[in-house]
Structure 1
């Protein structure tokens, strides 16, 4: 086997043109973390995937879809100019952290939105987890461990808008358990010997923490397929009232979709149990409860990525999700 060169890429004459854009590597959702010494783990950030392009005379901040959002992330662009590089492409996630250091997608939306918000654009942090190009050299052909070795000196230990997404060498199951216990969205597992490949593949895997609770069914939206269910409308308890918390449109088979539609039509009412107007909605008496698995709550108090898991009669409100005046539902998991 040939001996690896001791020179760093930036010490070798530049040979690679800088790509105008790189399609990101995307993680595949799996149920359990992979095991073995070739896997490293990171926190799964709940934000916007971005690529920071540091070019001669300018910095560009590009979204996953290739849109130029440099103007939306001025603090990230300004901090990128301070990095000790001539040219580089950093891959990472823009987030806003809550008071416990967890990324919160709702807070990020407010920081970027037009509505009044206590979170300014300067509160947004970019966690860099990969380095795709550096000073004239395309690094995508290198294994992840080499790309991380070059990334870490550039951003490790920084307290500005650009920081390092720490890599954890640990037991994947234990790291996942701890991440979920601390209210994080989940973890990412990456194969340290693989090059950077655009698109979704098995070399990056994501394992997400999920919540599961019961909500009262207050209506449904019909499917475009006749006789089928399109979306359940759900509510949680708040004191003696029901509060609409969003919908659920996945988790049932075709047969179950028809059965649920028929069941709910039998409880249809013209008096909604919640303050909600939906043109195509059919409201039902609040007598059935849906068991729902979901990822988190949105900033406006709606379920995020909800999936139907079961249905039962509303016999005991003790199991129905109860909203509190100081509810932490906007804290993303």
Structure 2
């Protein structure tokens, strides 16, 4: 179940009918615990159990439960998407274990969909939440995401603390898998967009180092549309990951219409890599304003990218 974007008026403010949670800056997963084993799946259904061995302790705490939540990497008490992005694409067990030692993660659970063999999808959010609150967290593997009664106070607090935003949930709502429902409403303090990499330009003074990525997003009709280039946030670690992902996917001509000023000196690629970008809105021409790269989205396939 996915949230819809809040209208200009903001999230609903009726605390009797709505509950409010922090919008965590992480990776959405379903954690399925059954018969002493835990299975983790991303929002797109990809198995990421090997990627996050630090969540294996979930299997020791509860006999049968299906949790919905966000995997976050906390740094100085705040989620760091950049740190998490370095772990998203890891599929080798040994590499994942080493990454877990360097950058441990936590599952911030905000819903329970099955408990002791009983499906809870058709139960109201309030009942599911009460069931979740009765489950003791298992060490550092997971925490229950807190619920707050007042939208205005939580919006102000999350903005001040540099958190992602707020999600409002209708207390009577049932869980609708895969649907973007108006019963969940999200307000993000910062704008994000998953983008397809369609090429890169070299750094100034170097013909080999990446200096900026050329980005595209599918339009409403499904055709790719160029949305600009981004160099801010292009770390050496991100460049290394991108080179591995793009290897063998260079193309002679861009797959989208790229303005000449952006295409100059660029290496073009097939749209096989997805990156997360923070931005300040869009120009009248559709380009992202002041885009900053946040990391490679290993949890998304190119076909999952949609304009936010």
Q: Distance in 1 between matches of 2:228 and 2:126?
A: 45
Q: Distance in 2 between matches of 1:224 and 1:169?
A: 38
TM-aligned CA deviation for residue 232 of structure 1? 2.9
**Matched-pair contact (CA < 8 Å) for 2:190–2:278:** no
**Matched-pair contact (CA < 8 Å) for 2:51–2:89:** no
**Equivalent runs, 1:102-117 vs 2, <5 Å:** 102-113=78-89
Alignment partner for residue 95 of structure 1, among 52, 67, 72?
72
User: What is the TM-score when the length of structure 1 is the normalising length?
Assistant: 0.58
Q: Distance in 2 between matches of 1:131 and 1:59?
A: 15
* Gap change, CA 1:219 and 1:155, over 3 Å in 2: closer
Question: Number of aligned pairs?
Answer: 229
Write the deviation string for residues 209-251 of structure 1: whole angstroms up to 9, x where unpaired.
0279xxxxx99889999xxx83333677xxxxxxxxxxxxxxx
Unaligned runs of 5+ in 2: 193-211, 220-224, 233-256, 270-274, 296-308
**Partner residue of 2:206?**
none
Write the deviation string for residues 46-102 of structure 1: whole angstroms up to 9, x where unpaired.
11111111112422111112222111111212x11222x321101111110121x22
**Secondary structure class of the residue paired with 2:70:** strand
**Partner residue of 1:206?**
186
User: What is the TM-score when the length of structure 2 is the normalising length?
Assistant: 0.62
**Secondary structure class of the residue paired with 2:140:** coil
Q: Distance in 2 between matches of 1:153 and 1:173?
A: 27
**Partner residue of 1:139?**
120
**Matched-pair contact (CA < 8 Å) for 2:30–2:40:** yes
Alpha-carbon RMSD across the aligned residues, in angstroms, is 3.9
**Partner residue of 2:35?**
56
**Matched-pair contact (CA < 8 Å) for 1:106–1:330:** yes
Unaligned runs of 5+ in 1: 1-24, 213-217, 237-260, 281-299, 312-319, 324-328
**Partner residue of 2:300?**
none
Q: Distance in 2 between matches of 1:222 and 1:93?
A: 26
**Partner residue of 1:307?**
281
**Secondary structure class of the residue paired with 2:79:** coil
**Partner residue of 1:33?**
11
**Matched-pair contact (CA < 8 Å) for 2:54–2:141:** yes
Write the deviation string for residues 8-42 of structure 1: whole angstroms up to 9, x where unpaired.
xxxxxxxxxxxxxxxxx101111311121111111
